[in-house]
């Protein structure tokens, strides 16, 4: 893990809170989905916006990119990897071996005996094979399985949190003595907004990076509800936006060690217009709208679980509302479960023995 800078508490809070509130729209206001071009750095030219930035890239959709059609199995990761390398970043991928959507921050527990976790090199899909040539990592891609290896189609996969844990605690040191500078998780196939993000492996990976005092950004792309449009998930738009956002954070010195951001890029349908980047709060509704069909007696039985209409949002300035308006909600997360103790419970505890 890179050395953690020592910062007074107030400036750090200002950097994450006030800086984000005042700065996100300014970072990306002008053409938020236009990627900064890759440039060859020579005398008299401007360096790429992410030049030299060491990025550990992960996701919850698998490292293998096996689904080239819909992109459910890591296509978003490879599109984001390409954009980051084109912007000058040095990228190392350590991600789950297999699809891990909905894994949250679940991590493998060793119990009373050690549990093997294998980090295995992945053959990069041909369409993305040459994207990161010339960087110190070569754009190396690894999948992590919960096995002594080798990882195969039947091997249990490690979780997104496992991948970040092993990447930050041990494996990334093979490439960087003090890095990475930031962990990116995504681009996920499907939005992570509202109550849904509590269960997201994409967000869980970013929160795990927070435990190592490494800044983290989770990135997701909205999936349209029309089946025919699913191959058109905006992975490229999400990647280009992420490069611009990350470049702005670097330029404004906002990559604080306690920074956790959750970004959702909208699907813009025919005749619709992409909105703007907005500071948003985590909504209360679940975008999945989970429904359980069937009647089960008191002795037990089977329900059918399916996705339904999202619940009505009740929180002002919610990420759910922003995404529905084709804006790009950017939410700051604290990465911690703690909250102030209600006074009544505090007093109750004082009376208990």
Mean pLDDT, the chain cut into blocks of 10 residues (353 residues total) = 36 39 52 39 69 94 76 87 97 86 73 88 92 93 91 85 94 93 94 91 94 96 85 94 96 94 96 96 86 93 88 91 96 86 89 87
pLDDT confidence of residue 36: 37
pLDDT confidence of residue 326: 97
Would residue 104 be called left, alpha or beta, if left means φ above 0 and alpha means ψ between -120 and 50 degrees? left
Residues in Cβ contact with 306 at an 8 Å cutoff, skipping those fewer than 6 apart: 290, 291, 293
- The three-class DSSP label of residue 4 is coil
Look at residues 223, 232, 92, 115 and name the one whose alpha carbon lies nearest to residue 168: 92
β strands within 71-153, DSSP E = 90-96, 118-121, 141-145
Q: Which two tokens stand for residue 258?
A: 């306690």
pLDDT confidence of residue 25: 53
pLDDT confidence of residue 308: 79
pLDDT confidence of residue 38: 37
Is the domain spanning 9-285+312-351 CATH 3.40.720.10? The answer is no
Point out which residues pair with 262 in neighbouring strands.
218, 331
- In which order are the strands placed within the sheet that holds 54-58? 118-121, 141-145, 90-96, 54-58, 182-189, 216-221, 260-265, 328-332, 277-279
The pTM assigned to this predicted structure is: 0.85
Supply the DSSP symbol for 255: -
Domain ranges, ordered by start, for the chain: 9-285+312-351
């Amino acid at each position: 893990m890179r050395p953690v800078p020592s910062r007074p508490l107030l400036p750090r809070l200002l950097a994450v809170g006030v800086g984000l509130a005042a700065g996100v729209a300014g970072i990306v206001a002008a053409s938020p989905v236009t990627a900064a071009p890759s440039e060859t750095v020579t005398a008299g030219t401007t360096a790429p916006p992410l030049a030299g930035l060491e990025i550990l890239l992960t996701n919850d959709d698998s490292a293998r990119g096996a689904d080239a059609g819909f992109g459910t199995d890591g296509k978003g990761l490879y599109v984001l990897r390409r954009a980051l390398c084109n912007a000058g970043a040095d990228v190392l991928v350590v991600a789950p071996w297999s699809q891990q959507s909905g894994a949250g921050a679940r991590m493998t527990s060793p119990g009373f005996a050690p549990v093997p976790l294998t980090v295995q090199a992945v053959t990069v899909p041909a369409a993305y094979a040459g994207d990161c040539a010339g960087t110190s990592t070569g754009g190396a891609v690894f999948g992590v399985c919960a096995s002594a290896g080798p990882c195969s189609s039947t091997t249990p996969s490690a979780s997104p949190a496992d991948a970040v844990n092993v990447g930050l605690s041990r494996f990334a040191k093979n490439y960087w003595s003090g890095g990475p500078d930031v962990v990116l998780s995504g681009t996920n196939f499907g939005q992570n907004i509202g109550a849904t993000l509590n269960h997201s492996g994409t967000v869980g990976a970013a929160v795990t990076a927070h435990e190592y005092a490494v800044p983290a950004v989770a990135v997701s792309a909205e999936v349209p509800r029309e089946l025919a449009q699913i191959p058109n998930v905006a992975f490229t738009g999400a990647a280009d936006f992420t490069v611009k956002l990350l470049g702005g954070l670097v330029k404004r010195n906002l990559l604080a060690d306690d920074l956790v951001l959750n970004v959702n890029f909208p699907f813009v349908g025919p005749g619709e217009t992409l909105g703007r980047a907005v500071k948003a709060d985590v909504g209360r509704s679940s975008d999945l709208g989970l429904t359980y069909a069937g009647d089960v007696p008191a002795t037990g039985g089977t329900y059918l679980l399916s996705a339904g209409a999202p619940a009505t949002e009740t929180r002002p300035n919610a990420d759910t509302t922003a995404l529905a308006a084709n804006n790009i909600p950017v939410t700051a997360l604290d990465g911690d479960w703690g909250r102030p103790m209600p006074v009544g419970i505090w007093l109750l505890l004082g009376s208990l023995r």
